[in-house]
Amino acid sequence: MKHLITAIALAFAASAAFAQATTAVKEAGKATAETAKQAGENVKSATTKEPASTVHSAKADVHKAKAKRHGRKAKAAAKEAVK
Q: How many domains does the chain have?
A: 1
Q: What is the pTM of this model?
A: 0.57
**Distance between CA 69 and CA 63 in Å, rounded?**
10
The parent domain of residue 48 ranges over: 2-82
Query: How far is the C-alpha of 45 from the C-alpha of 49, rounded, in Å?
Result: 8
pLDDT tens-place string over residues 21-36:
677 778 888 888 888 8
Decide: 42 and 24 in contact? Cβ < 8 Å.
Answer: no
Per-residue pLDDT band for 7 (boundaries 50, 70, 90) equals low
**Dihedral, 33, 39, 43, 46 alpha carbons, nearest 10:** 140
The 10s digit of each residue's pLDDT in 45-60 is 888 777 777 888 888 8
Alpha helices in the chain (DSSP H): 2-47, 50-82
